[in-house]
Amino acid sequence: QPNALELEDLVMHFGPVRAVDGVSLTIARGRVTALVGESGSGKSTVGRCVVRLLEPSAGVVRLAGTDVTHLSRRRLREHRKKVSIVFQDPAGSLDPRMLVGDVVAEPLRLSGQRMSRRDREARVAAELGRVGLRAEVARRYPHELSGGQRQRVSIARALISEPMLLIADEPTSALDVSVQASVLNLLADLQGDLGFACLFITHDLSAVEYLADDIAVMYLGQLVEKGSREQVFARPAHPYTQALLAAAPLADPVRQRQRQPVLLGDDLPSALDPPSGCRFRTRCPLAFDRCATEVPAQVEIAGGMAACHLVQPDGTRPDVRATQPS
Ligand code: SF4
Ligand code: MG
């Protein structure tokens, strides 16, 4: 079976802004990859290229073995049945003039599927039930619901077409902290039951611990590390990943207290004019001469990849925590 998603050297430039600059990533069927990075790293742009809300500047997007990079509008319809997206802010992504039932049923209508009204209502009710909402919610308007309920509606709409791949773009970060965990758990349960592949876009590494099989870390439009969740959490190789992990809150208070934060200093540089050599060098506590002149190669390491001059194929890797004053 072909992979759910293959990205080959994906590039998305907006005029002079190099939002995505050569991202390669594979997600096998039924697997979850978390795409992690700060806001402004380009991860949402990757998601929008996959669902073809954006047409990439270069590179290849392959969905279940089909090249969809430059599909025409008409052919995109087919593609849209295979992949769905849930956005960060359900208030902005749900049409306020549409009843919830029509919102959820919309993908069925757009895909040209003929269906009696009764069948459609039954499908919508079943889908609402699956995300923990009662059937009568179908007759309400989105603004009558809470933020958490609205995000459940978005998830129902995304899954009604039984996609092979779900893009979840910061699905909980606009929600009250009190409901974030329940929506994440819902997504994890649905993924387990339905078996869709998922690109889970997040800036929050602690959200990844329960949902992702694999992790890809993005910095200023490029991937700096990839690996299995266990591998990345236990032995992060790239200084940026190490710093992100040191800053992520942990559920376990003992491990949390043993944590030493790593100071990253200045804000993310602009994608208009990314630093030469290694793009992370302006914030890397370990940067040295070569980092300014030479782009680090993507070094293969145990089941993954890291792009840093200090990472060696034999497993040698830097440790930014050792550089911090205690
Ligand atoms: Fe830091 Fe240099 Fe490695 Fe980049 S290549 S992460 S600047 S040590
Ligand atoms: Mg974003």
**Ligand in closest contact with the CA of 287:** 1
Tell me, in angstroms, the distance from the centre of ligand 1 to residue 166's CA. Answer: 33
**Phi, psi dihedrals of residue 310, rounded to the nearest 5°:** -90, 0
Per-residue model confidence (pLDDT) at position 222:
97
Per-residue model confidence (pLDDT) at position 112:
77
Residue nearest to atom 3 of ligand 1 (CA): 308
ipTM of the modeled complex? 0.95
Q: Would you identify the CATH topology of the domain 5-323?
A: Rossmann fold (3.40.50)
Per-residue model confidence (pLDDT) at position 255:
64
Buried b (16+ CB within 10 A) or exposed e, 47-68: bbbbbbebebeebebbbbeeeb
Beta bridge partners of 61: 7
d(CA 196, CA 211): 13
Decide whether any atom of ligand 1 lies within 6 Å of the 320 Cβ. no
Per-residue model confidence (pLDDT) at position 206:
80
Rounded to two decimals, the pTM is: 0.93
Decide whether any atom of ligand 1 lies within 6 Å of the 286 Cβ. yes
DSSP alpha helices (H): ranges in 160-222?
A: 177-194, 205-211
Tell me, in angstroms, the distance from the centre of ligand 1 to residue 283's CA. Answer: 9
Which two three-digit tokens encode residue 293?
């002149």
Q: What's the average pLDDT block by block, 10 residues per block, for the chain (326 residues)?
A: 96 96 97 94 96 96 95 83 89 88 92 87 97 97 94 96 96 89 94 97 86 96 96 93 81 62 73 94 95 96 93 88 65
Decide whether any atom of ligand 1 lies within 6 Å of the 278 Cβ. yes
Tokens 């979850």, located at residue: 32
Residues constituting the chain? 326
Which two three-digit tokens encode residue 171?
């699905």
Per-residue model confidence (pLDDT) at position 261:
59
d(CA 56, CA 101): 33
Decide whether any atom of ligand 1 lies within 6 Å of the 135 Cβ. no
* Residue 142 DSSP code: G
